[in-house]
Structure 1
């Protein structure tokens, strides 16, 4: 914003330089008819008076009357300031042309008043338009900054919701293994430790390497495989994904997590989960398909993961993604397409 205010000062300075330059050009004949002091005095008086009126309008009349919708008071203030300008400028012109330079164009009072009135309104309107344009632009910058901050805050909030949700599921898995006194429990702890490191350090960045995100997802699926054993058929395929690509962290987890929580975890036998991830022509395609009970014994709880996923996609990949969810009897599928 400080850069903008510097630019704002430069714009106003450039405006008054142009106005002064115009009057210098317009009054250059005074160099021949009078002398340099009268030439400079004529231009200085006009520019200073215009600056005074502009200051009164922009810093007093505008915020005190116009913004508060006191249009009558604003119009009266402008009229009084213009009349004061006309009296001072016209008297000076009458003196200059009547006694110093001699009879020239606009040498009588009526012509001087007429010229000064409309020229003053012109410059005042131009300055007001410039002021309103700059204020509108600064307001747009402020709105944009607030919007970005709001989006960032919402993304952080959504990310904070994802982490506890994931931990809740994994700790339940680990608890089940420890009850069975499984020899696989230490391996679960190591994988969970690796995943926690990713969540604590890498997932706080706006973007992470897609390789790390997929490794995180593979660890998650490996942990779930340990829990389900031979009770479920789980396939995980990754094809044509080059290294060096980046993606928003923890963006793919809700699709897989939802498949386990609302699909395999609720089906006692013949459960399946297929995960296919591919990258072609700058587009990442993630397809997750799982079986689910035909008639759930109880209403599904949660739904935080997919709801948050939709919001994050809307914030981070607006116009560059497509999420399709298909709920069929005994089967649920999700297709996510993202332009990276």
Structure 2
């Protein structure tokens, strides 16, 4: 999960960098395109009729044409296409654009003519300049609409590509989940090989040796109870009651006390309402098992601690602390109990838990907070 979020963050940063680079490149392409187009038109007019207007005329007129082009492509059409009756709105807005275009063009013609001490009357403008200006505006609107359509088509193609890519990622993740589920089911079935035969055999051992060794018989009964709990069916959410989990922790502590003739020092406390609370099974039991597997529990001053608390907000707090056994580092690294606990917590509780592990030189502590 963390690796996937890191990959998504890196991907987003890469997209932002590429977007900035593409923006610069796209801006240069647009400027180059307009420069080539303007040079072509000016050269064509110059060689055709031998006329070359002042620079300010070209700046004003082509500036107005560029504004019309991009205003239509990036403001008017994107806004109009979202309306329900876009087939009516688009033509109306284009007519309105042409009206303002002709208005500004008339204003420019008047200002530029006035700068040359010339006057353009409305009659002359209508007879000589209206139709050319109208044709000019329609041609730029047409090119702008074609440009907008191409952009829209490219955007749609990119979205289709992203959708297909996302679909492939989902299919891949689904295949991995199905594979993991199949492996989990296989492991689960392997653990259930003839459970009744195993329980019946253990019960037979208990009944046979009860008269000879009550301690051994008690150990067998506790072991049977723990094994039944580990194979017990859970509800549809994969959970069991916290009360049952705590009962098995007590059985596990009692079993180990019997093994070591009650020479283990453990402070075990439970507080809060554990009757109605639910939890995925074997989480707390696995953490408890880790204490007996790697902890040194025969020193009274350094007795192990296991505290389980459920508050009014249905939040569980599991705290444990124990001294460490003196064992090789490789042996400790081979333990996969806590790794499995982390995987199951990530799957079932995701962001609704916090696990803090204090691995010191001589001691080991665990603090688990989770919303049940």
Query: Normalising to structure 1: TM-score of the pair?
Result: 0.52
User: In the aligned structure 2, how far is the partner of 1:195 from the partner of 1:336?
Assistant: 22
8 Å Cα contact 2:209-2:217 kept in structure 1: no
Pick from 120, 144, 151 the counterpart of residue 146 of structure 2: 120
User: In the aligned structure 2, how far is the partner of 1:247 from the partner of 1:105?
Assistant: 81
Deviations 1:140-162 (A, max 9, x none): 5764676587579769978959x
1:260: how far off?
0.8
1:279: how far off?
1.8
- Does 2:254 match 1:222? yes
Change in 2 beyond 3 A, CA 1:137/1:191: farther
- Does 2:214 match 1:183? yes
- Count of residues in Structure 1 that have an aligned counterpart in Structure 2: 241
User: In the aligned structure 1, how far is the partner of 2:314 from the partner of 2:179?
Assistant: 28
Change in 2 beyond 3 A, CA 1:194/1:105: farther
8 Å Cα contact 1:205-1:249 kept in structure 2: no
SS at 1:202 equivalent: coil
Q: Which has the larger radius of gyration?
A: 2
8 Å Cα contact 2:264-2:298 kept in structure 1: no
In the alignment, which residue of structure 2 is the partner of 1:323?
356
In the alignment, which residue of structure 2 is the partner of 1:243?
275
Pick from 143, 155, 175 the counterpart of residue 129 of structure 1: 155
1:183: how far off?
2.6
1:239: how far off?
0.7
By relative contact order (CA 8 Å, sep 6+), the higher-ranking structure is 1
CA RMSD in angstroms, aligned pairs only? 5.0
User: In the aligned structure 2, how far is the partner of 1:225 from the partner of 1:152?
Assistant: 42
Q: Which runs of 5+ in 1 are unaligned?
A: 1-16, 29-103
Change in 2 beyond 3 A, CA 1:142/1:285: farther
Query: Normalising to structure 2: TM-score of the pair?
Result: 0.48
Superposed counterparts of 1:140-155, under 5 Å? 140=166, 143=169
1:300: how far off?
2.8
Change in 2 beyond 3 A, CA 1:269/1:243: closer
SS at 2:142 equivalent: helix
Change in 2 beyond 3 A, CA 1:142/1:327: same
In the alignment, which residue of structure 2 is the partner of 1:273?
304
Q: Which runs of 5+ in 2 are unaligned?
A: 1-80, 93-129
8 Å Cα contact 2:306-2:320 kept in structure 1: yes
Superposed counterparts of 1:155-234, under 5 Å? 182-200=213-231, 201-202=233-234, 205-234=237-266
8 Å Cα contact 2:283-2:341 kept in structure 1: yes
Change in 2 beyond 3 A, CA 1:318/1:128: same
In the alignment, which residue of structure 2 is the partner of 1:23?
87
Change in 2 beyond 3 A, CA 1:142/1:225: farther
8 Å Cα contact 2:266-2:304 kept in structure 1: yes
In the alignment, which residue of structure 2 is the partner of 1:300?
331
1:277: how far off?
0.7
8 Å Cα contact 1:203-1:250 kept in structure 2: no
